[in-house]
Amino acid sequence: MLNLQNLKNFLKEQAATIRITKSELKAYQKNHSGYDGGYFKKLKDLSNNYRHYHIAYSMLRGRVYENIESANTKVLPDMDKIKEIRDAYTKNVCASQI
């Protein structure tokens, strides 16, 4: 279970980073006439990465993809990336601990 706890902590850190980046983006846009200064791309990358880790974490806890995201999601996640994340966090875990 230690690996799942590490993954949960990583998700919390990523969420905090996303919140900080959003506030930095808003402040930058306010001071620079609406330009994003590269913050939008950074925010998009962070959010996409968080999404994949969140899906992997939820699947490791026993949920199926259809119950994690709504059916009207237009952009499907990279399932290969999700599998890599799941494999990395379950490498040394007994099946009864998943």
- Distance CA(17)–CA(94), nearest Å, equals 32
pLDDT (tens digit per residue) in 34-63: 777 788 999 999 999 999 999 999 999 999
Q: Give the 3-state DSSP-derived string for 6-51, with helices as H, strands as E and coil as C.
A: HHHHHHHHHHHHHHHHHHHHHHHHHHCCCCCCCHHHHHHHHHHHHH
CA-angle at 92, arms to 61 and 77, nearest 5°: 45
User: What are the φ/ψ torsions at residue 96 (nearest 5 degrees)?
Assistant: -75, -15
Q: What is the pTM of this model?
A: 0.83
pLDDT (tens digit per residue) in 56-94: 999 999 999 989 988 777 888 999 999 999 998 887 655
